[in-house]
Amino acid sequence: MSIQTEILTKIKQYNTIIIHRHKRPDPDAIGSQMGLASILKASFPGKTILCAGKNFDSFKWLGTADDISDDQYKDALVIVVDTANQPRVDDDRYTKGKALIKIDHHPNDDQFGDLMWVMPEASSTSELIFDFFDMFRCELTLPDDGARVLYAGIVGDTGRFMYPSTSAHTFEVAAKLADFNFSPSDVNQKEDEIDLPLARLSAYAYENLQILDSGAAYLVLSNKVLEPFKLGDESTASIVPLPGRIKEVVSWAIFVEQKEGDYRIRLRSKGPAINELAKQYGGGGHPLASGAVVDNEDQIKTFIHDLDNLVKNSK
């Protein structure tokens, strides 16, 4: 029996299904969560399908999470999508259900759940959710809006089909989704547009990005720097790809100060694998897209030194 069949069998056994995703979500986290919820609601109208997590104004166009009581977890199946490790799961009640399933496309370093379907070679978890529907088309229904959010998740995690994780299969899935009744161009435009404060932050990022001789680059966004832009931390995600457009930049780190005073690191690369470096700083992720955390400015300096050496040694 395939893992997909096991997952569908488990879904059929439960009347309440609660879907979680990771903290500080991106389009794939919400797209895969809302896309799976859309499929399950349309396919099993008698079941209660709920989405957990914090809501963000910038992602309301993809859907909103539900208010869920503790009691609803007692006899529920919990599915966690697009989340590599347990500390990143949004809402720690994900362990309170009767059974737990993990569906993800990150390296499976933290193995959790009664069932795990993890495919690091996939472009996105949204791609996997479509594959799940496609495998059981005779039993499952994908509404147009579910197709829209899955397409948005794929567009987001492939950088509009620019990243190396984009495969021939990714294009096949995108083409099948485009057959549904929604506008792919509207989704592309929505993911590409920025407001004026973010445009100003983008200008700041280009002006203040530090590029080392090795091709490593970094930008530090302290609370003091961010305050005039009136942006939440989730909004800084939009500037993460910008250094990659610069020819001389090979790998880069953007340090974003958190309310507690530590710094979240958004780490990207055009070639050298950076996920092992991220693991050394309490993070992880894909070889070319990872995240980590440092406690203070001294650790920022150490991280930059390590990133510089990593890029030098990759040549």
Is residue 192 predicted with pLDDT exceeding 60? Answer: yes
* Whole-number Å distance between alpha carbons of 169 and 308: 35
Question: Residue 118 region, left (φ>0) first, then alpha (ψ -120 to 50), else beta?
Answer: beta
Per-residue pLDDT of 72-115, as tens digits, reads 999 999 999 999 999 999 999 999 999 999 999 998 989 999 99
Residue 266 identity: R
pLDDT at 232: 60
To the nearest whole percent, how much of the chain has pLDDT over 90? 86
pLDDT at 91: 97
Kindly report the backbone phi and psi dihedral angles of residue 161, in degrees, each rounded to the nearest multiple of 5, phi listed first. 65, 25
Cβ atoms within 10 Å of 234's Cβ, excluding its own: 16
Query: Which alpha helices (DSSP H) does the chain contain, by range?
Result: 3-13, 27-43, 125-135, 144-157, 168-178, 184-192, 196-208, 223-226, 275-280, 297-313
Average per-residue pLDDT for the chain: 95
Per-residue pLDDT of 143-171, as tens digits, reads 999 999 999 999 999 999 988 899 999 99
Domain residue extents for the chain: 3-192, 196-313
**Nearest Cα residue to 187 out of 161, 215, 218:** 161
Architecture of domain 3-192: Alpha-Beta Complex (3.90)
Token digits of residue 216: 């490593």
Of 184-198, 230-244, 299-313, which gets the smallest average pLDDT?
A: 230-244
* Distance, C-alpha 278 to centroid of its chain: 16
Q: Is 315 exposed, middle or buried (0-12, 13-18, 19+ CB in 10 A)?
A: exposed
pLDDT at 138: 97
Task: Give the three-class secondary structure for 120.
Answer: coil
Residue 221 identity: L
Residue pair 154/126 in contact (Cβ under 8 Å)? The answer is yes
CATH of domain 196-313: 3.10.310.30
Per-residue pLDDT of 225-281, as tens digits, reads 999 988 765 578 889 999 999 999 999 999 999 888 899 999 999 999 999 999 999
Supply the pTM of this predicted model: 0.90
* Whole-number Å distance between alpha carbons of 66 and 48: 11
